[in-house]
Amino acid sequence: MVKQRFNWSLNLLMLPLATWVTVTGIIAELFDINDFVLHKYPGYVLAVALGVHFLLKLKPWLQGTRRLFSFPFRHAAMLQQSKTQTLPTSEGITRRNILVWLGSAVGGFIAGNFLAPTRFTSLPTDEDIGVVYHHWSKPGNVSLLSSAINWGTQPAIFKDYPESKKIALAKLVPRDGMSVEQAIGTRRSVREYAQRPLTQDEVNRLMYYTNGITDTRWGSGLRASPSSGALYPVEMYLFVHAVEGVPQGIYHYNVRDHALEQMQAGDFRKPIADAALGQEFFGEAGIVVALTGIFQRARFKYQDRTYRYVMLEAGHLGQNIYLMAMNLGLGACAVGAFWDDDVNRLLGVDGKQEAVLYLLTVGHKIT
């Protein structure tokens, strides 16, 4: 009697507990929480409760199992027998229960794989962190559903330095010039530069046709480079070494105002060349463009896929810089090898919320 009451109380506990563990499990999956205490510890309690419940019900389970395996030979006889005498109950293992368990297990397996297929596939042995990330960020249906839930809030789409000295850039209209085919067909990375300053117009065109607002009809404007969801997580900075009418220093390209904002004045040829692992052409180019990513601009919407998108978009901007440099008769070189922390420090960004992604040098070719 005491045993029965205890088991009954256990059942009463397990029902809400199982619901809790299921709900918190879904939350953990939605938000990719690997160590979710609200799920983990109730889960342990549930496992212990299930174990105790199983032990308490061991006898009827065993009886039920015996009956099950004697089916169908003894089933008819037992049915007959049950009409005349009370047979031990077999709450545990009956054909119906087994079908329910099997159905739940198969259903759970299919649902789990359908909802988050990527989480269950093993990774290759020659993986690196990029492979792990790439694999992890493949969409499952749970992550598609959860994209309806914002990961934090959307930050401002434009960055500016209100206290800075500004250099307004002239409004541009497209000119005739080198065809896209010619630009692509003749593009090469250039690492040797003539000691001739760039003009402000050249810098203007490089900025505008890389990341300027080219269409004002929609929202806060559409830009020269494509951006997933038009969220524009990539920012542009300039290390100005030699540009007519623009003092040396570090500048931010203010997209909304189409202006350069001086963040620091001074000669940064050596610091940026050092930060680029000592690649000397960094000190010889007219400008060095630094592309950074403000991840939250895309993360609130794209979650795990954000990093992919931000890198892809930096690539779009990088190619635009190459092609515009060709169009202007200049040379450019994209660079991925640099000391991230040093470049971030020069740019005054924290390397987490906003981090440098890509550097490009631009200057006059040596003819």
Ligand X SMILES: Cc1cc2nc3c(=O)[nH]c(=O)nc-3n(C[C@H](O)[C@H](O)[C@H](O)COP(=O)(O)O)c2cc1C
Contact residues for ligand X (CB under 6 A)? 188-189, 191, 279, 333-337
Cβ neighbour number for residue 57 with a 10 Å cutoff: 16
**In angstroms, what is the minimal distance from the CB of 363 to ligand X?**
14
DSSP H helical ranges for 212-305: 269-275, 281-284, 296-302
**In angstroms, what is the minimal distance from the CB of 326 to ligand X?**
11
Of 286, 290, 293, 285, residue with least CA distance to 339? 290
Q: Which is nearer to ligand X, 43 or 363 (CB)?
A: 363
Alpha carbons within 13 angstroms on the beta-carbon side of residue 58 total: 4
Cβ neighbour number for residue 47 with a 10 Å cutoff: 11
Phi and psi at 254, nearest 5°, equal -85, 110
C-beta of residue 257 within 8 angstroms of C-beta of residue 168: yes
Q: Which is nearer to ligand X, 153 or 367 (CB)?
A: 367
Q: Which two tokens stand for residue 153?
A: 């809030």
Parallel, antiparallel, or unpaired: how do β-strands 259-265 and 287-294 relate?
unpaired
Q: Which is nearer to ligand X, 142 or 360 (CB)?
A: 360
**In angstroms, what is the minimal distance from the CB of 361 to ligand X?**
9
CA 115 – CA 99 distance, rounded (Å): 23
**In angstroms, what is the minimal distance from the CB of 327 to ligand X?**
16
**In angstroms, what is the minimal distance from the CB of 256 to ligand X?**
28
Instruction: Give Cβ neighbours of residue 202 (< 8 Å, ≥ 6 apart).
Output: 243, 328, 330
Residue with tokens 């030699």: 242
**In angstroms, what is the minimal distance from the CB of 332 to ligand X?**
9
Q: Which is nearer to ligand X, 232 or 322 (CB)?
A: 322
Cα 316 to Cα 40, 54, 154, 345, 358: the distances in Å are 43, 60, 22, 25, 11
**In angstroms, what is the minimal distance from the CB of 132 to ligand X?**
20
Q: Which is nearer to ligand X, 263 or 326 (CB)?
A: 326
Q: Which is nearer to ligand X, 227 or 279 (CB)?
A: 279
Assign 3-class secondary structure to 279-318.
CCHHHHCCEEEEEEEECHHHHHHHHHHHHHHHHHHHHHHH
Q: Which is nearer to ligand X, 21 or 290 (CB)?
A: 290
**In angstroms, what is the minimal distance from the CB of 177 to ligand X?**
21
Q: Which is nearer to ligand X, 4 or 186 (CB)?
A: 186
